Structures are given as structure tokens and as C-alpha cells.
Structure 1
Amino acid sequence: MRIPFVGSDAIAAGHLTRAHLRSHYRPLYRDIYVPRGHEVSLRERIIGVSLASPNAVIAGVAASVLHGAKWVDDDIPIEVVSAARRQRGLILRNETLDEDEVTTVAGIRVTTPARTALDLGRHLPRNSAIARLDALMNARPFAVEDVALLAKRHRGVRGLRRLPAALPLVDGGAESPRETWLRLLFIDAGLPRPTTQLVICDEMGRYVRRIDMCWEDFKVGAEYDGDQHLTSRRQYVSDIQVNRVLQRLDWHVVHVVKEDRGADIVEQVRAALLARGWRP
């Protein structure tokens, strides 16, 4: 039996009795059940919403997940554009959606990438919005111009004033929320906007590294090193060998870990840029 499932349908079809349903399953939403002890994923929760309210439209962060965005926790509230009754774990949005702002993904009604981007940019704080927009752009590229047109269409909707602070800074090259954080750290400190995911080749045209973000004209780069760089011996050895090649090619790459202070990171990169000819 599919998980989650409609409890009343399972009883009507003779798959379960009411006593068996109560003893072996737990409700996810009204009349939507999963096995007791089952760890419910975000996708299963979204499927449950679509079963409970077939006409509902998934929006916001959950919509970005349906479009392929990563780095989202399973327990986030699911935003729904619907007239459904309030339930735990759902955020109901009483908003207008035009026909061209709704699509279907795996049989589930969801806001289009452009409309999803509009909602992320106006409902979330600036840095969180940019991180979620980066993840959406990385998974399902959308045109910033299309989002701006939707904003004009829905002039006056709640939160629209937040959009101009987030939308121009979207960059699908970010491959984690921490990379977004690092990029914004540099921009907010007054450094030039970096290029993301630049491929570096050696003198023979052989691939060396794809740098998280860099200032190509000055051969300065920055990389956020996650735990895999510290826990994997193979990754550690590879990093050392690649860094030797980058140094030979006259690249200065600043490596950032979660324990670093933002001000220290900025000063390292600022000093490297100034030493290589950047003038504010």
C-alpha cells in the first residue's frame, strides 16, 4: 500500500479494518495515514497534502523541493495555496494564482519556478530568501525577468518590498547554503561580486579545479570547505595536490571553514585583492 494513504479509502477497499488502522498507523493529516514509527520525508508530507486537498497548490520552499532544490529539512512547514482547514505543519496562503503560475510535478499541483521564486523572495528574510532562490536556480533555472513581471502583475501583494533586496543577488552557482552565505558576506562588505563555479585549467588545458567563487581578473578565489574536506583522506590529499597546482598557476585561494569569523574571512580576501591590483 502506498505511503501515505487515505485511511477511509483503505477501509472501503477492504485493505484495513478501523481497528487495524488505529493500532498500526498514525494520522499525518486528516484521514491521511502512515505506519507507526515510519520516518516521514518531506516528499511524503507533500504527497499527503495533495491527497488531503487535491485542489491545493504547493508553494514556497516545499514547491522549490518539488522542482529539485536541495538542502531542505524534512520537517519544514509546507506552504499551501488552498481553502483547506488549518492543520499542523501547514501554512495556508490565501492568495491569487493565475493559470500560468501553476504547473504539475509528479501529479502534484505546484507553483511554477518563477512564481515559487516570487514567493520565496517576498516571504523570507533577505539572506534566507537568497539561499533558497540560489537552490531553486541551481536545480531549475528561471528567468529573473519573469519573476519581475509577476511582481508587476501582483502589485500590492504582501511582502513585495522585500523582493528587490534579494532578486538581483540570486546566483545558481551556489552549491550549498553556506556558499550563498559566503558570497553575500563578500558583497555586503563592499567587495566586487564574485564569479561562481569557475573552471580552472593548467597550461596544457587540463582540468584543475572548479572554484566555488572567485575574482578572475585578480586570480583570487574562495572556497567553503565542508566536513567532507576534513573527514575524507582522499579529499584531503586531493585538495593538497590541487592547491599546489593552483599556486603554480598564481592563484590565491582562501579556504573557509565553519569556525572562521566573517570579519577575518573578508580581510583575507580584501588583502589578497588589494595586493593583486584591485582598487575599491
Structure 2
Amino acid sequence: MGVLDEAFVGSWAVAAGLVTRWELRHNFVRVFPDVYMRKGGSLDAGGMARAAAHWAKGDGVLIGCSAAAMHNTRWLDADQPAEIARGGHCRPPCGIRAIRSVIEPSECCEVDGFKVTTPARTAFDLGRRLPRERATPILDALCAATGLEPGEVATLASKHPGARFLNRLRTTLAVVDPGAESPPETHTRLLLIDNGLPRPTTQLVIRDHYGEFIARVDLGWRKWQVAVEYDGAQHWTNPTQRTKDIDRIARIEAQGWRVIRLNATLLHHRPHVILDRIRTALTTQGARLDG
């Protein structure tokens, strides 16, 4: 990727002879003051974070979702403002959320030459600021991308006993699981936990009696041989994928497992159906559930 294929500082590019002022005006669009990108291009959450850092010209630390994006966290919304902390007062342009704060050096690191909060500090900030339902999918993905453990975030939190919303952070950390591979999988897990079901294992591998691999399921309980699968749209609209799913489920059930499948409609509009089916499957398989 070339220097001008992502957001860049216009004045620096002109000074370096990479682009003329005429080209800057006609071939590029302004993202933030003195920050440009090619016409027709788009920026994901990481690109927006870099653009915000270019606007600050090194005077600041990327925080929150922008820091998460720099750590290759998936599923972030590029339409949300970029986030940066600066030591002094400033008036950020539209599209940047700037806070006045000094981040401790031990809680900062560099990613691709940009100063960002460490994964632990990033999780510490997001887990306190966002409601659990919003924070958990991001922290799941952040932990998956960086190898961060929830315990590391708890250790950092112990160094900031006066910080706001620590109880919210602890509540979120208690349910974080880097095994989730999508926000719907996270929301499914939270639904089960919040309704008193045993906490499931994520990305559970199922093998036959000889130890041969059969499948890997989104969520499940090996003890009772119950699996939960979230099916995205491609599982229903793609004939090839649909056929694979039919064969796969048959192989799983042949090993004595019960498989509960759900989609976005069930998760968001008929969660009681999911819960009833899973409770029935668990009790049928020998689980003793309260209530």
C-alpha cells in the first residue's frame, strides 16, 4: 500500500513532494483539517484512528475504540468518532472525540508508529465507559486479537482504585470470552448466562469415539453434549453452505449430541424460544437446572 493510499497529512505530503497542492485539492478529500484521503476511498475504524492521530500530529494517544482498532480488534463501527487523549485543551473537528487526559507511559505503546493505549488500558477504558452489552463484544474481540486476559485488566484496575465505573468494568470482565467469533455469538452467550443457564464453552471441538475431529461449534456443554450454533444469513441463503450444514449437523447428532440452532430473528425477537429449547435439551441430556 502506498503512502497516499490511506489517510495522510496534506502539508507533509506537499512538503515531501509526494503531491502538489493542485492534486491535493482535486484528487483527494479532506477527512480532518490537513488530513486527506483519495477520492472514492473509505476508512475503516483503524483508518479513522490513524487519521485522528495525523490530525493531532503526534500530540495525543489513541484511546477507546480507536486504540482497539489499532490492536486489530474486529467488528468496530467505522461511523463512530475516532477517540484520542491529549494533555491540553483542544477543540476537535467533527468526527473526533478528544478528551483532556494524560495516560501513564506504562499504559501506552506504539502500533505502526502511532501512540495508543495498551490492550489492558484499552479494555479498562471501554469496560468502564460502555454498558456491558456493548463492551463485551469489543472486549471479546480485543482479547482474541491481542491475547489479553481479563485478569490483566483487573490487575490494572487495582492500580486505579479511584477510577469511575469500576463496578461496571468488573461486571463486564466476568463474562468476557475471547472464543466468541462474532458479536451475535457474544450476545447469545450473554443471553444464556443472564437467564441462569450454565456458562457454555466457546468454540467447542467435537470428536468421535476414536478421537477424530467432527466439528467445532460456537457454544456448548461437553458434559451434557448440547451444542448451540448461531447461523448467519449465508447459512440459509447459500445452497452449498446449507448442504454442508445439514451434513455437519447429522455427524454431530450421530455422536449423541443435541444441536440448538438460532439466527438473528430468534436472538433479538424470540429469545424465549431459544431458552426453552436449550433448557429442554440440557435436561433431556441429564442436566439438573435450577428453576
Q: What's the TM-score bracket when you normalise by the shorter of the two chains?
A: over 0.9
In the alignment, does 2:67 pair up with 1:67?
no
Q: Are the structure 2 counterparts of residues 269 and 20 from structure 1 closer, same or farther at C-alpha, using a change threshold of 3 Å?
A: same
Question: 2:276 — aligned with what?
Answer: 267
Number of aligned residue pairs: give it: 280
Question: 1:161 — aligned with what?
Answer: 167
Q: CA deviation at 1:160?
A: 2.4
Q: Percent identity?
A: 40
Instruction: Pick from 4, 7, 10 the counterpart of residue 7 of structure 1.
Output: 10
Higher alpha-carbon deviation: 186-195 or 152-161:
152-161
Aligned residue runs from structure 1 range 251-266, under 5 A: 251-260=257-266, 261-266=270-275
Instruction: Supply the AA of the counterpart residue of 1:276.
Output: Q
Contact 2:49 2:83 in 1 (8 A): no
SS of 2:174's equivalent in the other structure is helix
Q: Which runs of 5+ in 1 are unaligned?
A: none
Higher alpha-carbon deviation: 15-24 or 59-68:
15-24
Contact 2:49 2:69 in 1 (8 A): no
Q: Are the structure 2 counterparts of residues 89 and 158 from structure 1 closer, same or farther at C-alpha, using a change threshold of 3 Å?
A: farther
Distance in 2 between the 1:255 and 1:171 partners?
A: 20
Instruction: Supply the AA of the counterpart residue of 2:283.
Output: L
Q: CA deviation at 1:251?
A: 0.2
Contact 1:55 1:109 in 2 (8 A): no
Q: TM-score, normalised by structure 2?
A: 0.90
Instruction: Pick from 13, 20, 24 the counterpart of residue 21 of structure 1.
Output: 24
Question: 2:61 — aligned with what?
Answer: 57
Distance in 1 between the 2:53 and 2:47 partners?
A: 10
SS of 1:212's equivalent in the other structure is strand
SS of 2:180's equivalent in the other structure is coil
Q: CA deviation at 1:181?
A: 0.3
Higher alpha-carbon deviation: 39-48 or 114-123:
39-48
Question: 1:43 — aligned with what?
Answer: 46
Question: 1:137 — aligned with what?
Answer: 143
Question: 1:80 — aligned with what?
Answer: 84
Give per-residue Cα distances to partners, 1:170-208, cap 9 Å, x unaligned.
Answer: 001100000000000000111010111111011222211
Q: CA deviation at 1:269?
A: 0.2
Distance in 2 between the 1:97 and 1:52 partners?
A: 19
Instruction: Pick from 83, 90, 98 the counterpart of residue 92 of structure 1.
Output: 98
Q: CA deviation at 1:16?
A: 4.4
Q: CA deviation at 1:73?
A: 2.5
RMSD: 1.7
Q: Which runs of 5+ in 2 are unaligned?
A: none
Q: TM-score, normalised by structure 1?
A: 0.93
